[in-house]
Structure 1
């Protein structure tokens, strides 16, 4: 996989971020990914959990809120791909955030690409 790949799943263009690159750690890096998505007309940006800064998962830092707000402003969906079981187990607030995010359509936390594709399947 290159740094970023574009795939289409169920008619939805998804920018798949590669494992290498800047960590998603605030508004600036969010805007960089949003710009990449807009450049290839992607509706969804899928970021591997290894490319998400630790501060994102510490909700009181405000990083997650900043990132999510940027993606919402530009109407591009954000998907964090990977296992966050240990992080969720250590934080009730994060567990609640992930649960609520996964109920909506703006931000999802999925374990792998297969789950992402399943979530993109029309109802």
Structure 2
């Protein structure tokens, strides 16, 4: 299935394909996520498995660079899927996830249903 641009509760969401290109560098994120979002997306929903393990190892700096690039381009990001094994392996990642999920620009969600629920007006 290719990436799909859909609308949920008035927000244009680029739902990325599970089988898309892996994201192992900042350039990968720019090429395959940010570039694709320019077709009208406000939020990019990326399957957690598309990110290289180094994204979840905060000491690599990859997550910080990608999150900063999304902020620079005023795009929102949702990492969609189970990242529990990464959370167990890291002391810092759970804090990042908790803080990100308190905001409105970066979310870590279990599935697309959770994302759609978070986008619903309150």
- Per-residue CA deviations over 1:4-39 (Å, capped at 9, x if unaligned) read 011110010100000112222222122121111112
Give the paired residue count.
121
Say whether the 8 Å CA contact 1:9–1:117 is kept in structure 2. Answer: yes
* Ranges in structure 1 where 5+ consecutive residues have no aligned partner: none
**Cα distance in 2 for residues equivalent to 1:23 and 1:17:** 11
Using the size of structure 2 for normalisation, the TM-score is 0.94
What residue is the counterpart of 1:38 in the other structure?
38
Counterpart position of 2:89: 90
What is aligned with 2:108?
109
| Structure 2: 5+ residue stretches without partners | none
Distance 1:4 1:84 in 2: 21
Inter-partner Cα distance in structure 2 for 1:92 and 1:37 = 31
Paired residues of 1:30 and 1:71 also in contact (CA < 8 A): no
> Over aligned residues, Cα RMSD in angstroms?
1.0
TM superposition score normalised by structure 1: 0.94
Q: Which runs of 4+ in 1 moved over 6 A?
A: none
Name 2:121's counterpart in structure 1: 122
1:50 is matched with: 49
1:106 to partner: Cα distance:
1.5
